[in-house]
Amino acid sequence: MPEWWRDAIVYQVYPRSFADASGDGIGDLRGITGRLPYLRDLGVDAVWIGPVFASPQVDHGYDVADYRAIDPLFGTLDDLDALIEAAHALGIRVALDLVPNHTSNQHRWFRAAVASGPGSPERSRYHFRDGRGANGDEPPNNWRSVFGGSSWTRVREPDGTPGQWYYHLFAAEQPDLDWRNPEVLAEFASILRFWLDRGVDGFRIDVADALIKDAGFPDTPDGHPVIPKDASSPVHDVHRAFRRILDAYPGERTAVIETGADDATVALFLRPDEMPLAFNFRFVHARPDAADLRAAIDASLAANAAVGAPITWVTDNHDTTRSVTRYGTRAALTGAYVPGELRTASGAGADLEAGARRARAMALLLLALPGAACLYQGQELGLPNVDDLPDEVLQDPVWERSGHAVRGRDGCRVPMPWSGDAPPFGFSPSASTWLPQPATWGPLTAERQAGDPASMLSLYRAALRLRRQHRALGRGGLRWVSPGSADVLALDLLVPGETVRVIANFGARPIALPEGEVLLASLPLEDGRLPGESAAWVLPAR
């Protein structure tokens, strides 16, 4: 099919939390390979594997020391080759996570930059600046790191004296590259080709919109960084260069970018010569109510239509409070992490049963909307966020950098429960996993849910099966239908010869369904009516 990615279902694997084959309590590549049949049975088109490259793991791999090597924690290059081969044999494509905005401070380039001193070509690959104040002991400007604190850290010069400062949008161990230096693009072009040559089908690109900073580094009223993303920003040339590399390979290699920008700005990155896909964070942050969801859907569809690009719908990822917990409140939904801005979202007060009902309804919306969709591991199991992890096990750098004010994202990264009645629930041969799993997760294991037709996993499997059978799902043009109530969303998805109606009832009371065949409902119908907080797919009677 041309441009397979336009309606692809991508499954996000967070490597340290998916499956552990080695027995060290941390997930790894062989663990992922062993669970590929599960992904085939779920019915996904592609798997995006979070960063597995050599890394000190300060930000769990989003601090890369060597972009062409696998971290021993996760295995070897041979293990990755074997994973790719096994995935392809099952019809699943593989995307890796490219982290171009920053390297690790242990990357050979950064070490050379520190060792080489001010004004050196080595320093010009990063953003080194002299400090302010009499002795240069104040940071060059007032920009704040996403993870808390200043965005600048001072180095010692080779002669031991306190020296220049370097810029980091995230942690101090994640120095930002200077993408105005052509050497940086040349290096990443080579890295892309290295992995494409090994058979990788594409990339998820981290912080893709933030590669270019205002070179004047001006102070700002609120300490927000100035990161040009407008139509003429040089950041778009980077993405054009990436696209040319992808397109030079056979097999429709692709990329999905992370950008926290507004809809219109995201669309700029999806112009025909730039990136194929971008996560839709507007949808992540929409409240589970009809008005907010419709506004989010309309705004995103309009923005992307202007550039002819599909939308990549998302509700969950490894940076965001899990949706079962988020949807357990009606408050404005915030993740633990929004690119460019940190926010807290505690599960305190969330009604997890209501959250699970709404998450089921949202699954039917997510998987019907035209475009691609990305599922985060455990979403298909309805895992809640784990908000009561003991302080001493927290690992997200946000926790330390915020002076223990923000607990960070560990709560959505707890290892997957696969089977059995007690931790480690089949995740690892070892009982001690890198984050502890709640002892109450027995009913949530994949094994238990696979045997229960009413489970979240069964709902996802059924929905993905129907999506393959009915072209209108995920591919049809969208036409809103008058819902009859402010709490209800109703829309038709249309392809020639087929219409599927999606009805999502976010109110409390059951509503009548249109005449026709109910393909799937997220909760059992009540006397033929659609219960509150549920959704259905219907083939309307002609």
Q: State the residues that interact with ligand NOJ by CB under 6 A.
A: 59, 62, 99, 170, 206-207, 258, 318-319
Query: How many CB atoms sit inside 10 A of residue 263's CB?
Result: 20
Handedness of CA 26, 27, 29, 35 (dihedral sign): positive
Both tokens of residue 304?
A: 């992307």
Please tell me which residue in 79, 122, 258, 533 is annotated as part of the active site.
Answer: 258
Closer to ligand NOJ at the Cβ: 163 or 411?
411
> Minimum distance from CB of 379 to ligand NOJ (Å)?
16
E strand segments, 285-397? 312-314, 337-338, 341-342, 372-376
Shortest Cβ distance from residue 102 to ligand NOJ (Å)?
7
**Catalytic residue status for 28:** no
Provide the minimum distance between the beta carbon of 63 and ligand NOJ in the complex, in angstroms, as a whole number: 7
The candidate with the shortest Cα–Cα distance to 393, out of 23, 90, 25, is: 25
Read off the amino acid at residue 30.
Answer: R
Q: Which is nearer to ligand NOJ, 173 or 487 (CB)?
A: 173
Query: Which residue lies nearer to ligand NOJ by CB, 64 or 83?
Result: 64
User: Catalytic one among 28, 178, 206, 316?
Assistant: 206
The residue among 141 and 320 lying less far from ligand NOJ, judged by its C-beta, is 320
59 or 380: CB nearest ligand NOJ: 59
Contacts of 4 (CB under 8 A, 6+ apart): 45, 93, 252
CA distance 95 to 78: 16
Closer to ligand NOJ by Cβ: residue 6 or 107: 107
Name the one residue in this structure whose structure tokens are 């997220």.
Answer: 522
Which CB sits closer to ligand NOJ, 210 or 521? 210
Cβ atoms of 319 and 409 closer than 8 Å: yes
DSSP 144: B
- Dihedral angle over CA of 528, 531, 534, 538, nearest 10: 20
Pairing of strands 312-314, 372-376: parallel
SS3 string, 212-237, reads CCCCCCCCCCCCCCCCCCCCCCCHHH
Q: What 3-state DSSP class applies to 384?
A: coil
Least distance in angstroms from the C-beta of 101 to ligand NOJ: 7
Q: Which residue lies nearest ligand NOJ, judged by its C-beta? A: 62
Q: How far apart are CA 58 and CA 62, in angstroms?
A: 8
Least separation in angstroms between residue 320's CB and ligand NOJ is 9
Half-sphere exposure of 530 (CA within 13 A, CB side): 28
Phi-psi region of 298 (alpha: psi -120 to 50; beta: other; left: phi over 0): alpha
Whole-number minimum distance, CB 396 to ligand NOJ, in Å?
Answer: 8
Phi, psi of 141 (to 5 degrees): -155, -175
Shortest Å, Cβ 169 to ligand NOJ:
8
Q: Which is nearer to ligand NOJ, 71 or 319 (CB)?
A: 319
410 is catalytic: no
Quickly tell me which residue has 């001006």 as its tokens: 218
In the complex, the smallest distance separating the C-beta of residue 103 from ligand NOJ, rounded to whole angstroms, is 11
Cα 465 to Cα 410: distance, rounded to the nearest angstrom: 32
**Active-site residues: which are they?**
206, 258
